[in-house]
Amino acid sequence: MRIIRLLIKSSFKLFLLATLASILTGFCSTMVIKTIHEAVQGNTEFNIQHFAIRFAGYWIGFGLLSVVASYTVSLLTRIIIHRLRIDFSTKILNSTFESVEHNQSKLLPILTEDVKTVTHNIDRLPAVTTGLATVIGILVYMVYFSPTLSLATLIIFILVFLVTKASLPYVRKYAHISRHYLNDLFIKFEGLVFGIKELTLNQEFRKSYLEDQIIPASDVQNKYFLRENIASSITSRLTDMTLLLGLGTLILLISNLNFVTLNFFGEYLTLVLFTISPLSTASGFMSGLKRIEAALDHIEEVGIDLDEAIQKKEIIENKHWNDTEALIELKQIEHTYYHSEKDESFTLGPIDLPVQRGEMIFMIGGNGSGKTTLAKILLGLYAPRKGQILYRNTPVTKNAITFYRSRFSAIFSDSYVFDQLLHIDETELAKRGKELIEMLELTKKVKIENGKFSTKRLSDGQKKRLALIISILEDKEIYLFDEWAANQDPHFKEIFYTKILSYLKARNKTIIVITHDDRYFTLADRLIKLRNGQVTENSTPEIAHENLKQSH
C-alpha cells in the first residue's frame, strides 16, 4: 500500500512508534470493553474495587496511548505533506524548461488541491489505526468467549471486506475523473483573476466567460465529484448493511439450529456492536485511500522531464578562448515547435550565429518569425533538435547547461516580477539598488528594504522597470531583453535605449534586444533579422539601412 510506504519512508522510527502505540491503544480499548462485559455478565461475584482499578488503568492507558498514536501519525503526516511540497517544487525547478512550460496549467492544482487531498485523508489515519487495533483485540476476546460465534462473525467480516473491495474501484474511477476536470476549472479561475481588467471592460465577454466557461467547467467537475462522494458513501453504507444483515442471518440460524442460546448470543452481540463504529471508520478511510492514490497518480503522471536533474553538473572553463573569438556560437541550430497562430508546426533554422563578447545585438522581425524561440535556445531554455551551441569554443552539453544558463539574465514580455532580492549580493544591492531606482524614476513608488522591494502594487510598466532593476543587479555576463520597451511610454523607452543599454555596455556586458523600435536601431552593433524561422539579415545597422533603401 502506497500510503504505508510513504509513512515508512518519512520516518521509520515514528512509524514504528505510531504502530506500537496504536496496537497498545487497541489492547487497552479491548480490555476496557472486556472489563465492562465481564461485569455486566454477572457470572462471578462482582468486586467493585477490582473493577474500578482495572477499568481506570486500562481507561487511562487507552487515553494516553491514543494521544501518542495520534501525535506520531500527525507528525508523520506533516513530514509527508512537507516532503511532497518540497519534492515537487524541486522536481519543477530541476526539470527541463520545455516540459514545465508545457504542463504549466497543471502544476498549481497539484501543489494546492492534490496535497490538500493527501493531508485531509491522512489526518484520519490515527482514528483508523486505533479503531482497527481495537477491532482486532475484540476479535481475539470474542474467540476466547465463543469460538463458534467468532467463526460466524469472521465470515461476516470477510463478506464486509469483499463488498468494500468490490465498490472501491468506482470511488477510484470517479476520483481520477473529478481530479482531471479540476485542472480545467483552475485554468478558468486563472483567467478570472489575471484577466479581470479585460472582463471588467467587456460586459458581453464577462457574461460569456461566466456562463460558457466557468459554469460548465464547474458543473462537470462537480458532477464527477458528486459521483465520487456517492460511491464513497454507498461503500460505507454497504459495509454497515452487510454487517447488520450478517447479524440478522446469524440470529435466524441460532433460532433454527440452537447451537447457542439467544441469551448467550445477546451477551456476545454486545462485543460485536463495539466493532461496528471502527469498521465503518476504516471503510470510509479505504475510500479516502483511493482519493490519495488519485492525487499521487496525478503528481507522478504530470509529465515533467527529469533528465536534467540527474545529470552531473559541469563548469565550462576558459580554455583555448580569447576576446577576439565568439563568446557564443550557434552552429546549424534547428528547432521545431507548434505555432499556435498558424495552427501548424514551425521550424526554426538551420541557423549559424556568432555572438561576440561586449556586443549589442538587436533582433528584429515580424510576429511569429521565431525571435523568442531563438532567444530561448540562446539562453539554453530550449534544447535544439539539431545543431550545437558553443560557449567560449566549448560545446554546451546537458551536464553544462545549468552553468551555461547562469551566464544570462533575461526579461521576457511575460516575465514574473519577484519582490525578494535575497539572491543578490548585499553590497551590490546597497551600492547600485538606489542608483537604478533613481535612474528608472521609481523613487516615489518603491525602495529596497530588508532584501526586498517595499511594494509590487505598481502598473505593468513600472513592474517591468522593477524587473529591469533586478536583472541589472544580478550582474550577469549576457543580457537578453524581449520587447522590454513595448509597453513603456516614449520617455522610458528613451531611458532604456540611451541610458540603460549604455550603462550595461560600458560594463562590457553582451546585450541582445528583441525589438520593433526602428528609431533606435543605429545604437546596435549588429542587426539580426528573422523571417519564417530563418535569419535573412545579419549586418550592421548602416548596411541594413542601405539594403532597405535599395529594396525600395
More confident residue, 376 or 23: 376
Least confident of 11-25, 26-40, 41-55, 287-301: 287-301
Does the structure show a pLDDT above 90 at 307? no
The stretch 529-538 carries a mean pLDDT of: 85
Q: Strand, coil or helix: what is 312?
A: coil
How large is the angle between the packed helices 2-10 and 262-300, nearest 10 degrees?
70
Task: Report the distance separating Cα 274 and Cα 139, nearest Å.
Answer: 10
**Confidence category of residue 501, pLDDT binned at 50, 70, 90:** very high
8-state DSSP, 381: S
pLDDT score recorded for residue 177: 83
8-state DSSP, 420: B
Least confident of 63-67, 156-160, 273-277, 310-314: 310-314
The stretch 413-440 carries a mean pLDDT of: 78
Does the structure show a pLDDT above 90 at 362? yes
Task: Report the distance separating Cα 57 and Cα 53, nearest Å.
Answer: 6
pLDDT tens, residue by residue, 81-107: 777 777 777 777 777 777 777 666 667
Does the structure show a pLDDT above 90 at 24? no
More confident residue, 99 or 479: 479
Closest CA to 333 of 307, 317, 304, 355: 355
How large is the angle between the packed helices 125-145 and 262-300, nearest 10 degrees?
150
Does the structure show a pLDDT above 60 at 551? no
pLDDT score recorded for residue 544: 52
Q: What is the secondary structure of 81-97 as a DSSP string?
A: HHHHHHHHHHHHHTS-H
Contact (CB, 8 A) for 488 and 496 = yes
pLDDT score recorded for residue 489: 85
Q: Give, rounded to a whole angstrom, the gap between the first and last alpha carbons of the chain.
A: 74
- 3-state class percentages of the chain: helix first, strand second, coil last, to nearest 5: 65, 15, 20
pLDDT score recorded for residue 481: 93
Task: Report the distance separating Cα 195 and Cα 78, nearest Å.
Answer: 35
**Confidence category of residue 143, pLDDT binned at 50, 70, 90:** confident
The H or E element spanning position 548 is helix 541-551
Does the structure show a pLDDT above 60 at 278? yes
Least confident of 199-208, 254-263, 398-407, 472-481: 199-208
Backbone φ, ψ for residue 124 (5° rounding): -85, -5
pLDDT score recorded for residue 287: 62
Q: Strand, coil or helix: what is 439?
A: helix
Beta bridge partner(s), residue 411: 481
More confident residue, 30 or 405: 405
Q: What is the secondary structure of 89-157 as a DSSP string?
A: HHHHHTS-HHHHHHTHHHHHHIIIIIHHHHHHHHTTHHHHHHHHHHHHHHHHHHHHH-HHHHHHHHHHH
Q: Is 514 exposed, middle or buried (0-12, 13-18, 19+ CB in 10 A)?
A: buried
pLDDT score recorded for residue 180: 75
For the CA atoms of 95, 98, 101, 103, the dihedral, rounded to the nearest 10 degrees, stands at -70
pLDDT score recorded for residue 367: 82
pLDDT, the chain, mean? 79
Does the structure show a pLDDT above 80 at 511? yes
**Confidence category of residue 161, pLDDT binned at 50, 70, 90:** confident
pLDDT score recorded for residue 330: 92
Least confident of 197-201, 252-256, 436-440, 502-506: 197-201
Does the structure show a pLDDT above 90 at 189? no
Cell of 363: 533582433
Backbone φ, ψ for residue 501 (5° rounding): -65, -35
Q: Where are the beta strands (DSSP E) in 357-417?
A: 360-365, 386-391, 394-395, 408-411
pLDDT score recorded for residue 546: 57
